[in-house]
Amino acid sequence: MSKKKVATVSLAGCFGCHMSFLDMDLELLDLIDLIQFDRSPLTDIKTFKHRVDIGLIEGGVCNDHNLHVLRDFRQHCDVLISLGECAIMGGLPAMRNDIPLSECLNEAYLGVPTAIKNSTIIPHHEDLPKILDRVYPCHELVKIDYFLTGCPPSGEVIALALKSLLRGDLTIPRELIKYD
């Protein structure tokens, strides 16, 4: 059986979910027998060259670049998974959703103690992505096939999810994803 291709990306996330991936330790070696990483921060491949079997999305969508990447993933992946709280619900970044964007940027860049009057600016440039009015969960923008809960989901859960998915359907014992 040829190895399945997996792509991953971090949108408006903290890379916590990707760290969790690395937390798999030896499990990762098992996994590497079954899958091959394609576009991912782990391989530093930045564009899709082929169709991919599974896409894992960390983080929600906070700017137009995130939006385009997410759509790109949807177009190239057979199965798309929202990985972690931020992808599923927006997570911490979504705390700004009730605050108008201008107020939010002012507070973050100009209202901080390190800001220097008349010299600190809010970074913006045509090469920088445009910030969206609020942070969107991935499933509001593209069809998401599975949701892996957790902040972040543990390495064990991610490994189990991938393995079970390769066998047919994604199943995870309830104890592993019951957090309260």
Partner 1 sequence: MNKKSVSKIVRHLPRDPTRLLDYLWAIQRAKGFISPLDIFELAKLLKIDESRIKEVITFYHFFFDKPHGEFSIFLDQSIIAKHAGIDLIEKVFEEALGVKSGQMTDDWQFGLYKTSCIGMSDQAPAALINMIPFVNLTTDKVLTLITCLKRGDELLKLQKDLDCVPQNTVHQSLVTQDQWDQDITSLHTQILNPQDIIQEIISSGLRGRGGAGFPTGKKWQLCRQYPGPRVVVCNADEGEPGTFKDRYLLTEHATKLFYGMAIAAKAIESQEAYLYLRAEYTYLLDHLHFVLTKLQRDPLIRQIKWRIQLGAGAYVVGEESALLESLEGKRGEPRLRPPFPVEKGYLGKPTIVNNVETFVLVSKVLEKGFESFRKWGTDQSAGVRWLSISGDVSKPGLYEVPWGIRLREVLELCGAQSPLMIQVGGPSGECINATILSELERKLSFEDLPTGGSFMVFSKERDIFTILQNFMQFFVDESCGNCTPCRAGNVVLNNQLKKVVDGHGRPQDLMSLTQWSHVVMKTSRCGLGMSSPRVITTSMKAFPEIYQHKIDSSKSSLIFDFDEQKATSDYDKIFGENHE
Structure tokens at 89: 């619900």
List residues near ligand FES by CB under 6 A: 13-14, 16-17, 58-59, 84-86, 91, 151-152
> Which residue, 30 or 64, is less far from partner 1 as judged by CB?
64
Judged by beta carbon distances under 5 to 8 A according to partner kind, the member of ligand FES, partner 1, none in contact with residue 100 is partner 1
Q: Taking CB within 5 to 8 Å according to partner kind, which of partner 1, ligand FES, none is near residue 126?
A: partner 1
For residues 121 and 109, the answer to whether their CB atoms sit within 8 Å is yes
Residue 108 C-alpha from the chain's centroid: 23
CA 78 – CA 127 distance, rounded (Å): 30
Per-residue tokens: 138: 């991935």
From the list 150, 137, 151, the residue with the least C-alpha distance to 176 is: 150
* Residue 130 touches which of partner 1, ligand FES, none (Cβ within 5-8 Å per kind): partner 1
Give residues in contact with partner 1 (CB under 8 A): 64, 67, 71, 74-75, 100-102, 105, 122, 124-126, 130-134, 136, 140-143
